[in-house]
């Protein structure tokens, strides 16, 4: 519940930032209306198109049970255990080891894994990864992350337009009041940075929740912990390069560090995730007796 509340607060902050920027820059009621409209359009676009875009970005291809029987049966087993419809299964070509889920709800979802991850993970670790992605679907994190990415993108686009207006012409004006010069400056300099930080904070929060859901779904937190450690090593050698806006969807992002590194990372550090999983292992062992 704590992570869900934190996510809602961050999403509300992100949408509020978009509305406030429009108000500051354009001015008056026109700016407010445009900001609300941008937020609404961004959210609506994410709702219907985010899954298709993510799959296209990573060149994921749909596969049938005949093509990948072991993976297909694993997804089906875990979906049945979680009491959700089985998502579509996709394969991402290449030796990079990673995975992600996408879709606006459990009825319109997909799980994608790379060819590389199928080659390096033993069955119990792959099961932990699949359970992690299914938890994202159950929690509707796939939609949450898509909305965050789209709204953050709209903020960056608005800031870019303001920057162009500063170079090539005067800003817009409203009948009620002129655009706020301080708002314009803050938009150009700080808004994209703030939006990115909030978007990444949402992603990190959802990763901890998905790890916990995987641990409970499989009953084997240590398997996912081993998988994350293995995936981090391989991801540093063979990163899955694509649009940075979709990095929060991936199960692992090798870029991590201490304060500033974590602030600008789409994922918590692997060390922190492993630590939480091992704590969950102890809790599950205690409740079993």
User: Which of 7-16, 77-86, 130-139, 226-235 is least confident?
Assistant: 7-16
* Rounded distance between C-alpha atoms, residue 30 and residue 176, angstroms: 8
pLDDT at 49: 64
Packing angle of the helix pair 181-189, 2-26 (nearest 10 deg): 130
Phi and psi, residue 66, nearest 5°: -65, -30
What's the pLDDT tens digit per position in 258-282? 444 555 576 888 999 999 999 999 9
User: Which of 93-107, 192-206, 209-223 is least confident?
Assistant: 192-206
Work out whether strand 88-92 and strand 99-103 pair parallel, antiparallel, or are unpaired. Answer: unpaired
User: Which of 113-117, 147-151, 179-183 is least confident?
Assistant: 179-183
Q: What band does 104 get if pLDDT is binned at 50, 70 and 90?
A: confident
DSSP H or E stretch at residue 196: helix 191-218
Q: Which of helix, strand or coil describes residue 188?
A: helix
In the chain, where the domains are located: 2-288
Q: What band does 142 get if pLDDT is binned at 50, 70 and 90?
A: confident
pTM here is: 0.74
What's the pLDDT tens digit per position in 44-60? 665 566 678 888 889 99
pLDDT at 177: 44
- State mean pLDDT over 57-74: 95
The answer to whether the CB of 247 falls within 8 A of the CB of 264 is no
**Is the per-residue pLDDT at 141 higher than 80?**
yes
> Catalytic site residue 232?
no
Per annotation, catalytic residue among 133, 232, 247, 281: 133
The gap from C-alpha 19 to its chain's centroid, in whole angstroms, comes to 22
Kindly report the CA angle at 127 between 123 and 128, in degrees rounded to 5? Answer: 120
Please list the alpha-helical segments (H only) found in 58-169.
Answer: 69-82, 115-120, 123-138, 141-168
What's the pLDDT tens digit per position in 159-210? 666 666 656 554 444 444 445 566 566 666 666 676 677 767 777 778 999 9
């Amino acid at each position: 519940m704590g992570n869900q509340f934190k996510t809602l607060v961050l999403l509300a902050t992100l949408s509020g930032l978009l509305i406030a920027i429009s108000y500051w820059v354009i001015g008056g009621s026109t700016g407010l209306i445009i900001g609300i409209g941008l937020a609404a359009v961004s959210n609506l676009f994410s709702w219907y198109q985010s899954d298709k875009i993510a799959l296209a970005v990573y060149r994921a291809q749909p596969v049938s049970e005949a093509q990948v029987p072991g993976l297909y049966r694993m997804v089906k087993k875990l979906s049945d255990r979680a009491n959700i419809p089985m998502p579509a299964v996709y394969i991402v070509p290449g030796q990079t080891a990673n995975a992600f889920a996408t879709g606006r709800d459990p009825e319109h979802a997909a799980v994608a894994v790379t060819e590389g991850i199928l080659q390096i993970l033993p069955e119990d670790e792959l099961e932990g990864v699949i359970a992690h992605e299914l938890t994202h679907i159950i929690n509707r994190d796939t939609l949450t992350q898509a909305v965050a990415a789209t709204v953050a993108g709209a903020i960056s686009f608005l800031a870019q337009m303001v920057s162009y207006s500063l170079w090539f012409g005067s800003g817009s004006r409203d009948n009620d009041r002129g655009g706020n010069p301080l708002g314009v400056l803050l938009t150009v300099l700080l808004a994209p940075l703030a939006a990115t930080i909030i978007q990444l904070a949402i992603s990190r929060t959802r990763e901890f929740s998905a790890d916990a859901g995987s641990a409970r779904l499989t009953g084997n937190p240590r398997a996912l912990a081993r998988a994350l450690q293995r995936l981090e090593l391989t991801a540093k050698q063979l990163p899955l390069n694509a649009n940075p806006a979709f990095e929060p969807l991936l199960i692992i992002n090798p870029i991590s560090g201490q304060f500033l590194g974590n602030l600008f990372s789409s994922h918590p550090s692997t060390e922190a995730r492993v630590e939480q999983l091992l704590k969950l292992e102890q809790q599950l062992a205690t409740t079993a007796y």
